[in-house]
Amino acid sequence: MKVNRKCILAVPALIIWTGPALAESDPPVSTGEVYACADIDADRERLACYDEAVGRLEQAEKSGEIRAVSRREVEEDRRRNFGLSLPGFSMLGFGQEDDDRVDTVNAGVTNISEGPFGKLTIRLDNGQVWEQIDSRRVHVSSRTENIAEIKRAALGSFKMKIGNSRSFRARRVE
Residues 24-57 have pLDDT tens digits of: 556 677 888 889 999 999 999 999 999 998 999 8
Q: Which helix (H) or strand (E) holds 33?
A: helix 31-37
Domain count, the chain: 3
Shared-domain flag, residues 116 and 167: yes
Among 102, 120, 155, which residue terminates a domain? 102
* 3: pLDDT strictly greater than 50: no
Shared-domain flag, residues 134 and 76: no
* 8: pLDDT strictly greater than 60: no
Q: Which helix (H) or strand (E) holds 51?
A: helix 43-63
Shared-domain flag, residues 143 and 125: yes
Shared-domain flag, residues 95 and 123: no
Shared-domain flag, residues 39 and 51: yes
Q: Whole domain around residue 77: which residue ranges?
A: 70-102
Shared-domain flag, residues 111 and 157: yes
* 147: pLDDT strictly greater than 80: yes
Among 102, 121, 151, which residue terminates a domain? 102
Shared-domain flag, residues 98 and 112: no
Task: Find, among 120, 103, 92, 115, the residue nearest to 157 by Cα.
Answer: 103
Q: What is the pLDDT of residue 159?
A: 93
Among 102, 122, 156, which residue terminates a domain? 102
pTM of this structure: 0.53
Shared-domain flag, residues 168 and 108: yes
C-beta pairs of 53-58 under 8 Å, 24+ apart in sequence: 56/29, 57/29, 57/31, 57/33
Shared-domain flag, residues 128 and 151: yes
Shared-domain flag, residues 98 and 108: no
Shared-domain flag, residues 121 and 156: yes
- CA 20/CA 31 separation, integer angstroms: 23
Residue pair 97/74 in contact by the 8 Å Cβ criterion: no
* 1: pLDDT strictly greater than 60: no
- CA 141/CA 165 separation, integer angstroms: 8
Confidence of residue 88 (pLDDT cuts 50, 70, 90): low
Rounded mean pLDDT of the chain? 77
- CA 78/CA 68 separation, integer angstroms: 16
Shared-domain flag, residues 107 and 166: yes
